[in-house]
Chain A
Amino acid sequence: MSTHRVKIYAGFERLWHWLQALFIITLMVTGFEIHGSYSLFGYETAVRIHNIVAWAFIILIVFAIFWHITTGAWRQYMPTGDRSIVTQGRYYAFGIFKGEEHPYRKTELAKLNPLQKTTYLGFKILIVPVMVTTGLLYMFYNSWSDLWPGGLAWVAIIHAFGAFFLVIFLVVHVYMTSTGETPLSNVTAMVTGYEDIEDAPEEEPATV
Chain B
Amino acid sequence: MARRGRPPFLDRRRYRRTRLRDAACLLPVLGAALLLVPLLWPASGQGTPPSNAGALLYLFGVWAGPILAAGILSRLLRSGGQPEDAPEDGL
Mutual binders A and B:
no
Binding site for A on B (CB under 8 A): none
